[in-house]
C-alpha cells in the first residue's frame, strides 16, 4: 500500500493506492502551526475508512510520498535560519546586484531589494582561482579561521560558501568545508560547486545560501515527520517530491532542501500528463490546479513537461532566484479561500490575500470575517453547505450571505446574487490571464490544448475558464480534488547531476566532453545502485546547455546518446539545437556555430507499475438525482439538477445548467455546456461556444 500526502495552504490531501492499483482520496484541514499533525489527521481518516486502527493501517504501508510548502513558506515569511555568506575577496555584492534587472526600470523611488543574506553577514575570503582552474592566490587559512570565529560570535545557524570558479577547481571550497566542520561543528553548510555547479555566479550563490538557510528547518521537519510516522506505526520508505517533478528520499532532501521549494505544485503536471494522454490522447494540455490559497498553472507540451531556469521566489528581480531548473508553474493568489475586497475607487478585487486554513472562509465558522470565493459559491448555490467534504464539514450559509452583503454588495450597490457572481467572474478573469501568460505568451494556442482542472475548487469555474480560452474539452479527473497528491504517486524517483565545460562546434573538445559525460553517467549508476535499487525500470537522459555565439542565455538540448563520439554525433547535436531554438523562438541560424556551456544527466527510476489509476467508487453515494436553487448568469436562480460524481453512469450525457458534486469537489456545468463521464472515471466537458 502506498500513500501520497500533499500539504497545501488550506487542506492536506491524501491519496491511498492499494496493491491492485485502486485509489481512495481523503482531505483534512491543514494545521499551519504543526503541519505533520495535518498529515497524521488525513491518515487517521483513511484508517477509519478501511476499518483499521491507525497503527494497523500504517503497518500496511510500504511507501509515503510527501509534497510540502514548508520550505517556500519559511522563505516568504523570513523564518529561515540566520545564514552567513562566504565569497571571494572583492566580490561581496553578488547577492545584492543579482543579475542587474529591475521590475520598474524608470521608478527611481523604488527601494533596492534586500539581498537574501545581508551584507553584515557576508564575509570575504582571501583566495582566487582563475577561469581555467589555476590557483592565482592560495586560500589564507589563518584569515578564514578568524572569519569563522566572527561567525560564531554572530550566532549564525547556517553557512553558504560560493567562490569564484569553484566549479572548475573546488579545492578551496572543499578546504573551507573541512575547516567549518573543525571550528564550527554542528553548523550546517552548503558548498556551491556541489549543490549547483552552474556558470551563472548569482544563481549559484543564491541557490547556495537558500539551501543552507533551509537545512536547520527542513532537517528538523523531515526528521520529525519520519519519527512521528514511525511512532504511529509506519515503517516504510518516506520520499519527498521535488520542484523538478520527481521524488527523493527524505534523508537526501534534508541534505539539499532547496529541492523541496514548490514541491507540491510540481506534481500537478505529472498527473495532468497522465490524464491528457489516457483520457484524450492529446499531447498538449493546460493543467490548472485550484486550491484554497493559490491557482497554479502548468503545461504539458508535446508530451513533455516544460522546465524553466527563471525560478523566482517572489517578484522577478525583486525576489530571490533558486538557480535551479524547475517545472514551469505559474502561481497567483486565487483559490477557494481568496478574499474579495473593494478598493477606495469602487473596484472589486479577488486575492491575492487568502483566508487560508485558519481562520478560513466566513462560512467555515472559524472566525473568518472577509468574504471569499468559497463564500460566494455558497451564496450562489453552487456548493451545498451540508455536503462539504462529503458532509464531514457543515458550512454556514447565513454567515456567507452576510459577508457578501456587507463586504461586497453594499459597497458596489449590487444585489447579493450579482455581487457573489461578480466575485467568481473576477476570479475567473484572474485565472484566464495567468493561463494566457504561460500559453499565448509562449506561442501556444489554448484552443489546441485540453484543459485539465485540479484542486478542490477547480470545478467552480473551470468550465467558464475553458469557454473563455476557447478550449474544446475540459477534463475533471476523478482524482482532481487531490491532483498534486495523485501526481506524487505517479512520479519517479529522480537524481540530477550537472557539470560545466565550455566548448564549441568549431573546435569541439571530444575528450573533455566525453570524459565529463562518462562521469555523469557513473553518478547516475551510483544512484541506481543506491536510492534507485529495486526500481521497476529506469531511464537516463542527457542534455546540453547551448547557445549561439554572443547570446547571453542558453537553452537545453537533449543528447540522443550518452556520448558524442564522432563528427556524426556532433552534427546531430548541431541540428537538434537549431530545431529546439526554432521551436522556442520561431527562428534559427543553421549556418552558425554553437557554444556549449553546461552538461546535465537525469536518471528516473520508476516505482509504480503502469496499471490504470482507478478510483474506488463510494458505494454509499446514492445515484438519485436532486435539484437545488443555483444561480447562473443570464438565467438567475433556477432549480438545477445535481448529479453525484461518484455514481454517474458513463452513458449519461448532461447539458447545462447543472451541478456535478463529489465528496471533495463541485463542478458547475454552465448553460449549453455538455458533460459526460468516461469509463476511466474522468469527467469530460465541452464548454458552450
Q: What is the 3-state secondary structure (H, E, C) of 210-226?
A: HHHHHHHHHHHHHHHHH
Checking if the pLDDT of 197 tops 70, the result is yes
Model confidence at 614, in pLDDT bands (50, 70, 90)? low
Rounded Cα distance, 664 and 455, in Å: 9
Question: Going by DSSP bridges, is the β-strand pair 674-677/653-655 parallel, antiparallel, or unpaired?
Answer: antiparallel
Percent of the chain with pLDDT over 70: 98
Checking if the pLDDT of 425 tops 90, the result is yes
Rounded Cα distance, 379 and 385, in Å: 10
Residue 16's pLDDT is what?
93
Model confidence at 296, in pLDDT bands (50, 70, 90)? confident
Question: Going by DSSP bridges, is the β-strand pair 285-290/189-191 parallel, antiparallel, or unpaired?
Answer: unpaired
- In the block, cell 509534497 appears at 67
Residue 240's nearest CA partner among 255, 229, 227, 251 is 251
Residue 637's pLDDT is what?
94
Rounded Cα distance, 99 and 323, in Å: 12
Taking a C-beta distance cutoff of 8 angstroms, is the pair 87, 173 a contact? Answer: no
Alpha-carbon torsion (221, 223, 228, 233), positive or negative: positive
Taking a C-beta distance cutoff of 8 angstroms, is the pair 614, 21 a contact? Answer: yes
Residue predicted with more confidence, 327 or 518:
518
* Nearest-5° Cα angle at 326, 319 to 87: 55
Is there a cis peptide before residue 352, judged by omega within 30 degrees of 0? Answer: yes
Alpha-helix residue ranges (DSSP H) falling in 112-196: 141-153, 171-183, 192-195
Residue length of the chain: 689
Residue predicted with more confidence, 57 or 104:
57
Checking if the pLDDT of 652 tops 90, the result is no
**Three-class DSSP category at 353:** strand
Checking if the pLDDT of 402 tops 90, the result is yes
Checking if the pLDDT of 264 tops 90, the result is no
Rounded Cα distance, 247 and 62, in Å: 15
Checking if the pLDDT of 20 tops 50, the result is yes
Model confidence at 634, in pLDDT bands (50, 70, 90)? confident
Q: What is the mean pLDDT of residues 371-390?
A: 91
Rounded Cα distance, 51 and 524, in Å: 42
Rounded alpha-carbon distances, angstroms, from residue 313 to 6, 322, 572: 20, 7, 37
- Per-residue pLDDT tens for 113-167? 899 999 999 999 999 999 999 999 999 999 999 999 999 999 999 999 999 999 9
Rounded alpha-carbon distances, angstroms, from residue 11 to 41, 233, 357, 413: 11, 23, 7, 34
Taking a C-beta distance cutoff of 8 angstroms, is the pair 68, 260 a contact? Answer: yes
Residue 612's pLDDT is what?
62
Model confidence at 567, in pLDDT bands (50, 70, 90)? very high
Taking a C-beta distance cutoff of 8 angstroms, is the pair 327, 244 a contact? Answer: yes
C-alpha cell at 624: 438519485
Rounded Cα distance, 69 and 335, in Å: 16
Rounded Cα distance, 29 and 39, in Å: 9
Residue 610's pLDDT is what?
67
Rounded alpha-carbon distances, angstroms, from residue 471 to 99, 153, 449, 474, 689: 38, 60, 6, 7, 10
Count the Cβ atoms, other than its own, within 10 Å of residue 240: 28
Taking a C-beta distance cutoff of 8 angstroms, is the pair 661, 645 a contact? Answer: yes
Percent of the chain with pLDDT over 90: 60
SS (H, E, C) 582-638: HHHHCCCCCCCCCEEEEEEEEEEEECCCCCCCEECCCCCCCCCCEEEEEEECCCEEE
pTM of the model: 0.85
Q: What is the mean pLDDT of residues 346-350?
A: 93
Mean pLDDT of the chain: 90
Q: What is the mean pLDDT of residues 407-412?
A: 93
Rounded Cα distance, 39 and 687, in Å: 36
Residue 77's pLDDT is what?
79
Residue predicted with more confidence, 3 or 319:
3
Residue 332's pLDDT is what?
80
Residue predicted with more confidence, 585 or 468:
468
Residue 620's pLDDT is what?
53
CA 2 to chain centre: 21
Q: What is the mean pLDDT of residues 268-282?
A: 88
Residue 619's pLDDT is what?
47
Rounded Cα distance, 190 and 176, in Å: 10
- Per-residue pLDDT tens for 581-599? 998 888 999 999 999 999 9
| Element (DSSP H or E) covering residue 299 | strand 295-300
Checking if the pLDDT of 430 tops 80, the result is yes
Residue 184's pLDDT is what?
97
Rounded Cα distance, 392 and 664, in Å: 10
Which phi and psi (to 5°) does residue 114 adopt?
A: -75, 140
DSSP string covering 370-415, please? Answer: S-BHHHHHHHTTSS-TTSBGGGTB---HHHHHHHHIIIIIHHHT--
Taking a C-beta distance cutoff of 8 angstroms, is the pair 486, 23 a contact? Answer: yes
Rounded Cα distance, 439 and 152, in Å: 49
Residue 617's pLDDT is what?
57
Residue 25's nearest CA partner among 15, 39, 40, 12 is 15
Amino acid at each position: 500500500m502506498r500513500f501520497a500526502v500533499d500539504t497545501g495552504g488550506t487542506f492536506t490531501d491524501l491519496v491511498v493506492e492499494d496493491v491492485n492499483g485502486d485509489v481512495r482520496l481523503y482531505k483534512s484541514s491543514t494545521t499551519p502551526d504543526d503541519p505533520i499533525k495535518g498529515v497524521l489527521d488525513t491518515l487517521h481518516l483513511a484508517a477509519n475508512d478501511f476499518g483499521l486502527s491507525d497503527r494497523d493501517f500504517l503497518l500496511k504501508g510500504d511507501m509515503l510520498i510527501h509534497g510540502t510548502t514548508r520550505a517556500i513558506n519559511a522563505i516568504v515569511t523570513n523564518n529561515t535560519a540566520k545564514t552567513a555568506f562566504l565569497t571571494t575577496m572583492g566580490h561581496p555584492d553578488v547577492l545584492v546586484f543579482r543579475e542587474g534587472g529591475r521590475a520598474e526600470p524608470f521608478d527611481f523611488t523604488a527601494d533596492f531589494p534586500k539581498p537574501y543574506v545581508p551584507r553584515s553577514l557576508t564575509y570575504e575570503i582571501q583566495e582566487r582561482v582563475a577561469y581555467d582552474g589555476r590557483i592565482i592566490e592560495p586560500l589564507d587559512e589563518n584569515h578564514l579561521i578568524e572569519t569563522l570565529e566572527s561567525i560564531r560570535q554572530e550566532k549564525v545557524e547556517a553557512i553558504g560558501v560560493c567562490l569564484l570558479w569553484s566549479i572548475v577547481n573546488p579545492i578551496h571550497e572543499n578546504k573551507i568545508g573541512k575547516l567549518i566542520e573543525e571550528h564550527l561543528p554542528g553548523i550546517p553548510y552548503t558548498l556551491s560547486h556541489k549543490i549547483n555547479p552552474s556558470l551563472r555566479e548569482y544563481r549559484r550563490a543564491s541557490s547556495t545560501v537558500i539551501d543552507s538557510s533551509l537545512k536547520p528547518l527542513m532537517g528538523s521537519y523531515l526528521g520529525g515527520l519520519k519519527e512521528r510516522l514511525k511512532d504511529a506505526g509506519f515503517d516504510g520508505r518516506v520520499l519527498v517530491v521535488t520542484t523538478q517533478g520527481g521524488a527523493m528520499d527524505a534523508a537526501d532532501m534534508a541534505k539539499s532542501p532547496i529541492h523541496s521549494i514548490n514541491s507540491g505544485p510540481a506534481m500537478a503536471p505529472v498527473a495532468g500528463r497522465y490524464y491528457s494522454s489516457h483520457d484524450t490522447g492529446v499531447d498538449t494540455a493546460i493543467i490548472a490546479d485550484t486550491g484554497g490559497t493559490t491557482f497554479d498553472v502548468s503545461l504539458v507540451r508535446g508530451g513533455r513537461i516544460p522546465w524553466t531556469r527563471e525560478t523566482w521566489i517572489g517578484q522577478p528581480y525583486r525576489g530571490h532566484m533558486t538557480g535551479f531548473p524547475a517545472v514551469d508553474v505559474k502561481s497567483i493568489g486565487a483559490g477557494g479561500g481568496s478574499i474579495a475586497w473593494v478598493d477606495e475607487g469602487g473596484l472589486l478585487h479577488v486575492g491575492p490575500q487568502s483566508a487560508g486554513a485558519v481562520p478560513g472562509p466566513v462560512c467555515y465558522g472559524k472566525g473568518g470575517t472577509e468574504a471569499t470565493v468559497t463564500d460566494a459559491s455558497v451564496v450562489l448555490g453552487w456548493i451545498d453547505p451540508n455536503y462539504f467534504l462529503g458532509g464531514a464539514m457543515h458550512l454556514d450559509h447565513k454567515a456567507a450571505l452576510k459577508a457578501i452583503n456587507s463586504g461586497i454588495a453594499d459597497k458596489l450597490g449590487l444585489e447579493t446574487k450579482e455581487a457573489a457572481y461578480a466575485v467568481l467572474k473576477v476570479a475567473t478573469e484572474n485565472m484566464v490571464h495567468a493561463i494566457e501568460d504561460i500559453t499565448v505568451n509562449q506561442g501556444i494556442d489554448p484552443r489546441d490544448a485540453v484543459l485539465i482542472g485540479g484542486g478542490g475548487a477547480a470545478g467552480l469555474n473551470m468550465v467558464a475558464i475553458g469557454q473563455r480560452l476557447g478550449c474544446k474539452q475540459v477534463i475533471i479527473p476523478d482524482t482532481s480534488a487531490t491532483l498534486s497528491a495523485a501526481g506524487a504517486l505517479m512520479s519517479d524517483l529522480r537524481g540530477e547531476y550537472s557539470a560545466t565545460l565550455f566548448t564549441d562546434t568549431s573546435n569541439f573538445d571530444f575528450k573533455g566532453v566525453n570524459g565529463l559525460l562518462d562521469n555523469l553517467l557513473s553518478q547516475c549508476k551510483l544512484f541506481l545502485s543506491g536510492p534507485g535499487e529495486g526500481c521497476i525500470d529506469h531511464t537516463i537522459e542527457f542534455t546540453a546547455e547551448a547557445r549561439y555565439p554572443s547570446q547571453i542565455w542558453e537553452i537545453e538540448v537533449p543528447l540522443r546518446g550518452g556520448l558524442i563520439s564522432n563528427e556524426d554525433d556532433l552534427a546531430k547535436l548541431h541540428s537538434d539545437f537549431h530545431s529546439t531554438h526554432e521551436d522556442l523562438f520561431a527562428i534559427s541560424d543553421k549556418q552558425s556555430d554553437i557554444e556549449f556551456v553546461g552538461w546535465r544527466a537525469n536518471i528516473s527510476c520508476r516505482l509504480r507499475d503502469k496499471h490504470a489509476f482507478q478510483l474506488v467508487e463510494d458505494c454509499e453515494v446514492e445515484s438519485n438525482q436532486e435539484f437545488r436553487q443555483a444561480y447562473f448568469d443570464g438565467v438567475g436562480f433556477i432549480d438545477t439538477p445535481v448529479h453525484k460524481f461518484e455514481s454517474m453512469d458513463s452513458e449519461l450525457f448532461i447539458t447545462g445548467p447543472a451541478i456535478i458534486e463529489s465528496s471533495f469537489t463541485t463542478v458547475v456545468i454552465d448553460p449549453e455546456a455538455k458533460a459526460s463521464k468516461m469509463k476511466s472515471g474522468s469527467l469530460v466537458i465541452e464548454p458552450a461556444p
